[in-house]
Structure 1
Amino acid sequence: CAAEFEAYTPYYYSTYEEGESEATVSDKPKVMILGGGPNRIGQGIEFDYCCCHASFSLRNEGYETIMVNSNPETVSTDYDTSDRLYFEPLTKEDVLNIIETEYPNGIIIQFGGQTPLKLAVPLENYLGSQGESFPTKIWGTTPESIDIAEDREKFEQILDQLAISQPPNGIARSYEGALAVANRIQYPVVVRPSYVLGGRAMEIVYSDEELERYMTFAVQVEPEHPILIDKFLENAVEVDVDAIADKEGTVVIAGIMEHIEQAGIHSGDSACSIPYTSLTDDVLKLIRTSTVQLAKSLNVVGLMNIQYAVQGDKVYILEANPRASRTIPYVSKATGVPFAKMASLTMSGKTLKEIGLTEEPKRQHVAVKEAVLPFKKFPGTDTILGPEMRSTGEVMGIDADFGRAFAKAELAAGEVLPLSGTVFVSTNDRDKPYVMPVVKDFAKLGFKIIATEGTLAALRKEGIKADLILKLHQGRPNVLDAIKNKQIHLIINTPSGQDAREDGILIRRTCLAYKIPLVTTIAGARATVSAIRSLQSQPLDVKAIQEYAMT
């Protein structure tokens, strides 16, 4: 870069001009790692972490590492991460040109997120057409297994064979087809296109009118990429599981993460905890058994991520991705086990026993991951979270108990939690029964409670002392005035119906402008009161992450 220092990694760019190629190709064993391409919401540096660790571990094993990525903002494109860097788009044509130049022994496609995963089948078709003697193979989980996990109809057949439950669902290639599925499984439903990352264009739909709008305007429906429609599981706990498998079919669970926000909030936007905080032994046993069964059935080699929803004692699988997920850096740091490095070794042919990983890591501390949301940079946006991912980063807090770990995560994400003051509560009718225990906890911690008319009546019915504050249309001074005058120190506001939506948006935007902590889910409010309780009891202390990894 501007000749400031010696670059150990040659950077290559392609051109269609005739002439001599400057690529210097050796006869050493080589592996090509496909990166994630440009950063965007849903596809960020979490995947770049995996690509870098794969390069480091395979270089130690004697392979030349070839990185293919077109993102100058990442570590994978640094001058010393790989032996050679091809600064190229992640397209079939460009990748094939590099294969025909380098002839690598292996290609790793499961570390760069959805972008290289879409190339799995086209690359496999090309490599298969070159004959058995062609030296290049795709390492890890086969493209056929990747396609099964991505294809709703094929994936359902596997789940039926294994007797693993999933929410009632269907697929549609037109509005009429979507309407038939929605009427069969009943609203609310989650609708999304297939083959996307980051929950892009995903919505929770509550009526025929909303479904028609979605199918007409929100997405372009194509026969090859149908719309997936699932029953929305209200008040379910979402669980993320990362696992690693080798060529012999040995499967080890890397981490079981319990989401703090309920199912329906995109996993990339939801805070989550290792270890789990509320799952029963029976639920955990079923999750572990289903994960191992599915990894073996899909012949996974390398990493796999599965998302479950737990409703009472019932466990439903939401989706399975036979690739590295965005949670791998978090799980690795929380447990002290470098799973991306280990996965790259299993893809090169080593077994989990050979690399010393035979059981799920257990630690004494709690690690909480929190999403970093960009709302402060976009003052006009609504801060309500939903099934479409909106976060642009993540942070982690570690401590001996959940409350302190969550407090650290919030602090790292830029949220300063108040230790005293006034809490404003306004929830929809559906959430009122669930918010009562949380408000009682805030009152016990010495907070003053204020609420709008409907929520106030529900609070007083439960014997909770609270004061009235006016809604925006009821006169002055109202809740907006109180926020601007800094008379409110924390807000719990869950989205209401159409009538109150405009008021809610205005409150949330003002909150953002005046830097008042805002919680928009009941589960988030529970975690927040737990963190404040811990902060009131004793100040936070700091330890090096390596100290936690040893416990």
Structure 2
Amino acid sequence: MAIDINKVLLLGGGPTSIGHENELDAAAFERLIALRKTGAQIIYVDDNPFSVTSEEIQPANVYVQQVNFKNVVNIIEKEQPDAIMATTGGLNAMQIAWQLSESGVLSANNVTLLGIKPADLRKVIDNQKLRDLLTEISEKVIASKIVADDSEAMDFVREVGFPVIVKPISASHDTSRFICNNTDELEDALDVSFKRTYIKRCSIEQSIVGYKEIEMVGVRDTNGNKMLITGLEDMDPIGIHSGDSIIFAPTQTLINEEYQALRTATFRIMDALNVTGTCHVQFAQSRTDSNYFVTKVSPFFTRNTLLAAKATGYPLTYVSSFLELGYTFTEIKLPTKYSKYLPFMEPTMDHVLVRIPLWPFRDINDVDQHLNTLMKSVGSTIGIGRTVEEAIIKSMHSSQFSPRDILPSVSKVDDDDVINQLIHPLASRILILMEALRRGFSVDELSELTRIDRFYFYKLNQLLRAQDYVINNPMSPHSVQVGHKYGFGDGMLAELWNVNISEITRMNRNTKQPVTYKEIEPSAGEFIEATNIFTAAMNLKMKVNHFPAKQP
């Protein structure tokens, strides 16, 4: 049954920073559209100078202030809202919601926390309580301990051995995770972490570096009905922060049994936490068997929650807003552009999305550019295609890598440096992976060195083969078709063949291959929708045969 709310306080995500991007503001804007349909008055607090959401609310109802405990308390006491929505404000907003509950501010002012009950939120914020809950529902967790000093940390290491991961317990430094392989690295990590934590506690856990990182995004209503939006797979293994990894949606290398096990685990966790709305769960999946660990539970909007929504075209923020208000899936009416789609239909994808991070290293030269558990990217690009290869090329085309080259070359890097970067990756790692394939490294060798699944090397090798075929067969209609199939745009083909792009356009007309736009919607073409979200593609009416070349 829906909650009767006349005034709701919406917490913003704050200004953009590393690990804290403007997707949260986009989610808050979509939430605003949904909440307006309820007739409730919306009070918004945020200090994001570029917030679109704040511009769409009456100025008298907008507080341009830092989203912190003190400011939110003052707003609650002044405005007296019926409820507070914190899930689109990220981890910081959820931390504040927990503090409001623990301090008695919510109960004293009769404010309802939407999305998750305060008692269940505490299980998420308190690492030990979350571990106890996961153990209670038979979900595997990594050996971990909260420590107050170096001595307690060393006692833990003596029990589990190196490597271990150290991270401060701090909402504002969620991305700081340090892999420690020896005592010296542990001492350095503890020194930094204790300075960053606001309660002088650090979490230290057993390392599972090398496992696959899989992410699941689900939604749940008050009746316990659940649905998976999609699964996401990081190309890079655990040990590289998800924000710095190339991510694929849907998952690419899981067998069905593994996928279903993680889907079931996600639902079990959502039930245990009584979540209404969205929940993002991250897993470490073994590469050799079906074992997995739960690594993180986020019953709020995250960067990758919103990536899942973008990948599928599912109106996740809109639906989640009503779910948090107490509506069930069957009671939610989607916007008219989803003419036949129903909120309780699990999305189906007929395309692949790839996200490639962007880094600030061109402007900040004197920092360590190695990728590890500390997030360093400041944004990302996405590519969407019918195949993994097409999506990769489209994403690279928009990234920091030269947009005028098919596959930018790093051929001047010597062999020793290539091997070093395979083991200790930099931001340009996808180029190094391709260069290693060019130099004859086998797929098995590369997978062993990088802990990246063989599947991705076969896909990257297909791109190299496609490039070679296009280069060696200039101005051929079949080469154009091959290029289009693998995501090479007309400008890229023209650059390779050193001709004017009008020549490629003419060839497209002659072979009746016009540019078309594929709709991103959650039914994979089952229904005719009007989501207004499209990706460019070539209309390949002729079957493109594989180019004649040997497999590696």
Normalised by the length of structure 1, the TM-score is 0.75
Specify the SS of the correspondent of 2:236: strand
Which residue pairs with 1:427 in the alignment?
Answer: 419
Which residue pairs with 1:94 in the alignment?
Answer: 71
Specify the SS of the correspondent of 1:414: coil
Which residue pairs with 2:33 in the alignment?
Answer: 56
Report how far residue 428 of structure 1 moved. 4.7
- 1:302 is aligned, of 277, 280, 291, to 277
Tell me the alpha carbon deviations over residues 345-397 of structure 1, each in whole angstroms, 9 at most, x when there is no partner. 11111112222322431111111122121112212333211111111112211
Are the aligned partners of 2:279 and 2:297 in contact in 1 as well (CA < 8 Å)? yes
Alpha-carbon distance in 1 for matches of 2:60, 2:444: 68
Matched, 1:108 2:94: no
Are the aligned partners of 1:406 and 1:531 in contact in 2 as well (CA < 8 Å)? no
Alpha-carbon distance in 2 for matches of 1:526, 1:207: 35
Tell me the alpha carbon deviations over residues 173-203 of structure 1, each in whole angstroms, 9 at most, x when there is no partner. 1111111112211111111012436643311
Which residue pairs with 1:369 in the alignment?
Answer: 355
Q: Which has the higher helix share?
A: 2
Are the aligned partners of 1:407 and 1:532 in contact in 2 as well (CA < 8 Å)? no
Alpha-carbon distance in 1 for matches of 2:111, 2:292: 40
Alpha-carbon distance in 1 for matches of 2:303, 2:45: 19
- 1:394 is aligned, of 341, 360, 380, to 380
Report how far residue 545 of structure 1 moved. 5.8
Q: 1:326 to 1:155 in 2, by over 3 A?
A: same
Amino acid at match of 1:90: V
Which residue pairs with 2:396 in the alignment?
Answer: 410
Which residue pairs with 1:126 in the alignment?
Answer: 104
The percent of aligned pairs where both chains have the same amino acid is 24
Are the aligned partners of 1:244 and 1:253 in contact in 2 as well (CA < 8 Å)? yes
Q: Comparing 522-531 with 262-271, which one deviates more in the overlay? A: 522-531
- 2:263 is aligned, of 284, 288, 313, to 288
Which residue pairs with 1:517 in the alignment?
Answer: none
Q: 1:439 to 1:328 in 2, by over 3 A?
A: closer
Q: 1:127 to 1:199 in 2, by over 3 A?
A: closer
Alpha-carbon distance in 2 for matches of 1:145, 1:309: 23
Tell me the alpha carbon deviations over residues 319-358 of structure 1, each in whole angstroms, 9 at most, x when there is no partner. 1111111113221121111111111111111112222322
Alpha-carbon distance in 2 for matches of 1:113, 1:72: 17
Amino acid at match of 1:190: I
Q: 1:545 to 1:178 in 2, by over 3 A?
A: farther
Matched, 1:234 2:209: yes
Specify the SS of the correspondent of 1:112: helix
Alpha-carbon distance in 2 for matches of 1:427, 1:543: 41
Q: 1:104 to 1:277 in 2, by over 3 A?
A: same
Q: 1:418 to 1:381 in 2, by over 3 A?
A: farther
Q: Comparing 119-128 with 536-545, which one deviates more in the overlay? A: 536-545
Which residue pairs with 1:159 in the alignment?
Answer: 134
Alpha-carbon distance in 1 for matches of 2:331, 2:295: 33
Matched, 1:538 2:483: yes
- In the alignment of these two chains, the number of paired residues is 454
Tell me the alpha carbon deviations over residues 184-225 of structure 1, each in whole angstroms, 9 at most, x when there is no partner. 111111110124366433111000111112223443386945
Report how far residue 421 of structure 1 moved. 6.2
Are the aligned partners of 1:195 and 1:225 in contact in 2 as well (CA < 8 Å)? no
Specify the SS of the correspondent of 2:214: strand
Which residue pairs with 1:510 in the alignment?
Answer: none
Matched, 1:34 2:11: yes
Are the aligned partners of 1:365 and 1:400 in contact in 2 as well (CA < 8 Å)? yes
Which residue pairs with 1:173 in the alignment?
Answer: 148
Report how far residue 102 of structure 1 moved. 2.2
Alpha-carbon distance in 1 for matches of 2:284, 2:516: 34
Report how far residue 159 of structure 1 moved. 1.2
Q: 1:79 to 1:359 in 2, by over 3 A?
A: closer
Report how far residue 294 of structure 1 moved. 0.6
Report how far residue 237 of structure 1 moved. 0.7
Specify the SS of the correspondent of 2:366: coil
Tell me the alpha carbon deviations over residues 5-35 of structure 1, each in whole angstroms, 9 at most, x when there is no partner. xxxxxxxxxxxxxxxxxxxxxx992221100
Q: 1:390 to 1:422 in 2, by over 3 A?
A: closer
Specify the SS of the correspondent of 1:328: helix
Can you give the 5+ residue segments of structure 1 that lack an aligned partner in the other structure? Answer: 1-26, 433-437, 450-458, 465-491, 496-519
Alpha-carbon distance in 1 for matches of 2:433, 2:219: 43
Q: Where does 1:497-508 land on structure 2 (aligned, <5 Å)?
A: none
Are the aligned partners of 2:165 and 2:179 in contact in 1 as well (CA < 8 Å)? yes
Normalised by the length of structure 2, the TM-score is 0.74
Q: CA RMSD in A?
A: 3.3
Q: Where does 1:428-447 land on structure 2 (aligned, <5 Å)?
A: 428=420, 447=438
Are the aligned partners of 1:190 and 1:203 in contact in 2 as well (CA < 8 Å)? yes
Specify the SS of the correspondent of 1:228: strand
Alpha-carbon distance in 1 for matches of 2:518, 2:368: 35
